[in-house]
Chains A and B, each alone.
Chain A
Amino acid sequence: MSEPLRAIHDEVEARDLVDAYLTGRLNEAERDEFEAHYFDCAECLEKLEAAEGFREGMLQVAAEDLAKVSAARVGLGLLAALALLSRGRRFALAAALLALIVLPALWLAARNRGLEQRLAEQSASTSGAASRSAALEARLRDVEQTGAAERRRLEEQLAKERGAAAVVPAASPAPQVNIPYFVLAAVRSGEGSREPVNQLRIPNRDGSFLLAVELAIVDYPTYRATLSGPAGRTVWTSGGLHPDSRDTLVILLPARMLDPGLYRLKIAGMEKGGGEVAVGEYPFRVAG
């Protein structure tokens, strides 16, 4: 390795330029100089690739964990909704479930009784005729087998329905892959009445999606995000938010939260004294 290159490498190590570059902590001149260096330096490029891959992997892990937590919350929400039902409604729900179990059983019992009665009548009318009796016995067995098969089918159907009813409150917290990711563009003042350039097509209404907004101003300790829907109705708001190292706020939203229509995401910087200063507005349309 040449002397000038070794000197540059020493500086890369000493100032941890790899991380500083990846996290955007170099100024423009330093960034350009480092890029020109690693463009022809395999050692630094390898370090960059490993560090970038690890960083991306950490973010991917965080996104997956977040999706799991989100799905688990939905399940808890359903259980909570069940707990909030009045006693009368809970009894009604229990009665409905009980009816699902009992009614098919009663129907089967009644049908069996009918079959037994018919068998008895036929047996009485054919006493003395051995061949007819044997035929009737065979038919009886067939009928019983048919009845048993029918019963098994109904029991399986019942079990499935009961299983489905039990699964609803505990929606499985499966990890989500390929979560739709939208980077929202801010609008300048005076563009409020135009059709927004941010057009969101959410492929799966049962899933979640990510909204990312790049903040032009990052001078505040924390930020508040407020999402308002048609007619200015506030859909969601949250304070104490910190942008990531790229000055970006990334928000995971359940798709069902937003029906098709116009929305506006407002970001405000929260001053130490408690005041809020508007930082950016991001109108978008959720396509139907």
Chain B
Amino acid sequence: MIAAVRYHRLLPGDGTFMSGRAEATGADSIPDPPSDAMVDLVRRIGLGDPTAEADLVHRFARALRFLLSRLTRDGALAEDLYQETFRRVIEKVRGGELREPERLAGFVCGMARNLFLSSARSGTRRGKWYGDPEETEVAPDPAPGQLASLLARERATAVRRVLGELRNDRDREILSRYYITGDEKEEIRRDFGLSDLHFNRVLFRARQRYKELFERRHAAGREAG
């Protein structure tokens, strides 16, 4: 019974949406994706192999959470769509509707995107409020949840530290213009007289340092908890 399965419970650690991190589905745990593996996975799901659904979820859960989190900006809506995406994918694979099994990854993310678009059009989900003005008393609270707020604060703390560690104002200015003002890369490069390589290096260094700090805070939080 597909609808009865809570797919995220199949994941050890139950990853968090807004952080973009998921426990136990780390980089090393997902093997390279030869198309044979995809074909085999699709075949097993089609045969009703009970472990195949878990494998499907394990393989795509983290990326699906990332995509839906970006699309919806709403943890609750993303969670709904996450469940629905896996439900529909399994349903269609079982029904033999996936004609090119080696394109399973594209099928999953395409399904997620379509469900998101349907949700936005219908206005029945909890994301943006498109509802009847006379029913505004049941409109969703636009304020982010506690977890999202906590993660946002942690991200901001890590970013402040990265910015504080930068050796010159120029790099701060570059990051600010690129990420906050939304200036085009070419324009920034021209203004600062930087090569493409140099520009990318500034971004790469900042992101790497951020990643280290953020992961360190998470590790410390887990130990404290």
A9-49 vs B, CB cutoff 8 Å, 1 = contact: the mask equals 00000001001000100000000110111111111011011
Taking CB atoms, residues of chain B closer than 8 Å to A35 are: 67, 106, 109, 113
Question: Are A183 and B128 in contact, with the CB atoms below 8 A?
Answer: yes
Contact of A54 among B176, B200, B210 (CB under 8 A): B210
Question: Are A59 and B106 in contact, with the CB atoms below 8 A?
Answer: no
Interface centre among B67, B128, B130, B207, by most A CB within 10 Å? B207
List the A residue with the shortest CB-CB distance to B132.
Answer: A197
Bound: A49/B66 CA distance, A: 7
Bound: A140/B103 CA distance, A: 97
Bound: A199/B129 CA distance, A: 9
Q: Is A58 an interface residue (CB 8 A)?
A: yes
Bound: A38/B143 CA distance, A: 30
Q: Is B163 an interface residue (CB 8 A)?
A: yes
Residues of B within 8 A of A (CB): 19-21, 26-30, 32-34, 38, 59-60, 62-64, 66-67, 70, 103, 105-106, 108-110, 113, 128-131, 133-134, 136, 139, 142-144, 149, 152-153, 155-156, 158-160, 162-163, 175-176, 179-182, 185, 200, 203, 206-208, 210-211, 214
Residues of A within 8 A of B (CB): 1-2, 5, 16, 19, 23, 32-33, 35-43, 45-46, 48-62, 64, 177-178, 180-183, 185, 195-197, 199, 201, 203, 242-246, 285, 287
Given contacts A2-B33, A42-B26, A61-B159, 13 further A-B contacts (CB under 8 A): A16-B200, A19-B203, A38-B63, A42-B30, A52-B70, A53-B20, A57-B155, A58-B159, A59-B179, A181-B142, A196-B133, A197-B129, A242-B182
